[in-house]
């Protein structure tokens, strides 16, 4: 078993700054879908770019998103008990960039981003997304610096945007990918 040992980085019992930095780089080697999480906080929209979300279950339809615990989006999602997740297409990198910036404005955040809502108080759904989900918070779990927010789908885009490719983040870059059809799995 020489290969694993020769390339292993063993972390300290209390990970060092170097351990964390090394992990941060390695974590980018998993390709990530890119989405926008949106919620409503009082009169304001809160929306951020995320890559750390998964589909948890079909029964009932359940999604998980990991949010930094001290973020405004985490506050808004937990307080309102509702959020939207819009899965971005390859031609929506500008949206991902804008909502991925630190220090996004409180007012007018979505002024130049076409979006819709299911009702007046609903979180924003990004137009042109591959698909989107409107969710009710079912559970919140703390995990290190983050909150794991489990949401049950209450509504979703029934007709996916089938003419587009996914926006993918890999090795710290937004990638416009061309997909070469593989073998059906």
Q: Which parts of 113-152 interact with a second copy (CB under 8 A)? A: 116-118, 125, 127, 130-134, 138-139, 141, 143-146, 148, 150
Output the CA angle 178-22-141, nearest 5 degrees: 80
Taking CB under 8 A as the criterion, the residue among 41, 62, 71, 80 binding a second copy is 62
- 22 or 72, CB closer to a second copy? 22
Taking CB under 8 A as the criterion, the residue among 44, 52, 78, 80 binding a second copy is 52
Residue 95: CB atoms within 10 A of its CB come to 26
Q: Does 60 bind a second copy (CB under 8 A)?
A: yes
C-alpha–C-alpha distance, residues 138 and 81, integer Å: 8
165 to each of 21, 87, 149, 160, 162, how far by Cα in Å? 31, 11, 27, 11, 8
Task: List strands edge to edge, sheet with 44-50.
Answer: 44-50, 35-41, 82-87, 131-143
- Beta carbon of residue 103, minimum distance to a second copy (angstroms, whole number): 16
Q: Does 173 bind a second copy (CB under 8 A)?
A: yes
**Both tokens of residue 31?**
């390709």
**Both tokens of residue 30?**
């998993």
Return the residues of window 7-26 that contact a second copy according to CB under 8 A.
Answer: 7-11, 14-15, 19-20, 22-26
Q: Does 107 bind a second copy (CB under 8 A)?
A: no
Return the residues of window 67-86 that contact a second copy according to CB under 8 A.
Answer: none
Q: Does 170 bind a second copy (CB under 8 A)?
A: yes
Taking CB under 8 A as the criterion, the residue among 107, 111, 158, 163 binding a second copy is 158
């Amino acid at each position: 078993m020489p290969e694993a040992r020769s390339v292993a980085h063993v972390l300290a019992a209390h990970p060092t700054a170097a351990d964390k930095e090394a992990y941060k780089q390695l974590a980018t080697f998993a390709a990530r879908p890119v989405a926008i999480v949106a919620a409503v906080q009082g009169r304001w929209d809160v929306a951020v770019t995320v890559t750390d979300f998964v589909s948890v279950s079909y029964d009932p339809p359940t999604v998980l998103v990991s949010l930094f615990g001290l973020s405004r989006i985490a506050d808004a999602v937990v307080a309102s008990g509702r959020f939207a997740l819009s899965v971005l297409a390859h031609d929506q990198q500008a949206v991902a960039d804008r909502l991925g910036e630190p220090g996004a404005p409180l007012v007018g955040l979505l002024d130049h981003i076409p979006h819709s809502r299911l009702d007046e108080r609903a979180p924003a759904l990004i137009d042109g997304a591959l698909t989107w989900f409107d969710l009710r918070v079912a559970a919140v779990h703390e995990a290190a610096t983050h909150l794991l927010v489990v949401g049950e789908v209450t509504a979703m885009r029934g007709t996916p945007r089938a003419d587009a490719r996914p926006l993918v983040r890999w090795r710290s870059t937004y990638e416009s990918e061309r997909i070469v059809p593989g073998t059906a799995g």
